Homo-oligomer: A and B are copies of this chain.
């Protein structure tokens, strides 16, 4: 099955929330968690990971919190997921640590790697700002479209 972890899910929500509140200097983890009902401590750790990855800037102390380190337009969903869940691969042959032992005899890893790259491309083409637009259910906000190339 192909599933996104809830951590990545929460991370995207938090970033979107930050993108929607650019006026405030910083928002604390608890603020964001309360806004959506996410467990505060869990979200805190997620935001820490995003900070370590360079997507957020943190500020400790009272009235501290987190703020985007770049423009929402410049942060892709791929980066968020990568920062939280680590490098993702569709298959188990991650080539890094513990590849599946039938890698040599396997004949579908190359095509699947292309599929993997295509999906990564989809996620890379989506920015945090894309998530914030398309409110206005009236729909006159022209929906952004993208073309993805899949080369087998």
Contact = CB atoms under 8 A, between A and B. Distances in A.
A150 to B, nearest CB: 4
B1 A86 contact: yes
A13 B100 CA distance: 14
Contact of A123 (B38, B81, B102, B115): B115
Interface stretch (A47-55, A58-66, A87-95): A87-95
A138 interface: no
Interface in A23-41: 35-38
Contacts of A16: 107-108
Contact of A115 (B90, B122, B150): B122
A71 interface: no
Q: How many copies make up the complex?
A: 2
A142 B43 CA distance: 47
A110 to B, nearest CB: 8
Contact of A106 (B8, B13, B144): B13
Given A1-B85, A145-B149, A38 B102 contact: yes
A69 interface: no
Interface string A123-151: 10110001101100000000111111111
A74 interface: no
A98 interface: no
Given A37-B105, A115-B122, A122-B118, A144 B152 contact: yes
